Amino acid sequence: METSSSAALSGAAQDRTVTPGMVITALLVPVVAVLGVVTSLRVQDIDSDWVHRQQAACRHMPFPKMEYVVAWSGPILGVAAMAVCALLARWIRRRCGMRLWDTWPGLLAFVCAMLNLLAILLELFMLWATYTPDGSGPILGDCG
């Protein structure tokens, strides 16, 4: 009899420890992680548009500076998502005395942060590709 009541009390205490701030912070982790991936994939679109503009104009054009900004924003957002998850873990540990994955917002943030590790690798690759010169350069085609 004591065991079931103590389990019910601990479950009720765990539900009460979830605050709206925790939920918002936990939802920031996947949102910021997805924004990092989207901006990193946008680098390829900017580069492709630049090549097509050069081919249409039949001349070499300056490299778009926006590509550097977008390429850097991917890894910055990825690391920011990890930092938010770490701050949430610290907050839950201090306020509730529980581990991050003991609450459902913390578990959501933890799972998204672990998946974000792979996304950070993609973001770093896109940053590296932005700074790596293309060996052949854009082919302007028949401009005669």
pLDDT at 1: 46
- pLDDT at residue 72 in the model: 92
Q: What is the pLDDT of residue 109?
A: 85
The confidence band for 137, taking pLDDT boundaries of 50, 70 and 90, is low
Q: What is the pTM of this model?
A: 0.73
Q: What are phi and psi of 18, to 5 degrees?
A: -80, 115
Q: How far apart are CA 129 and CA 112, in angstroms?
A: 25
pLDDT of residue 136: 56
Q: What is the mean pLDDT of the chain?
A: 79
Return the half-sphere exposure (C-beta side, CA atoms, 13 A cut-off) of residue 127. Answer: 17
DSSP 76: H
**DSSP letter assigned to residue 100:** G
CA distance 9 to 23: 22
- Weakest mean pLDDT among 17-31, 55-69, 94-108, 128-142: 128-142
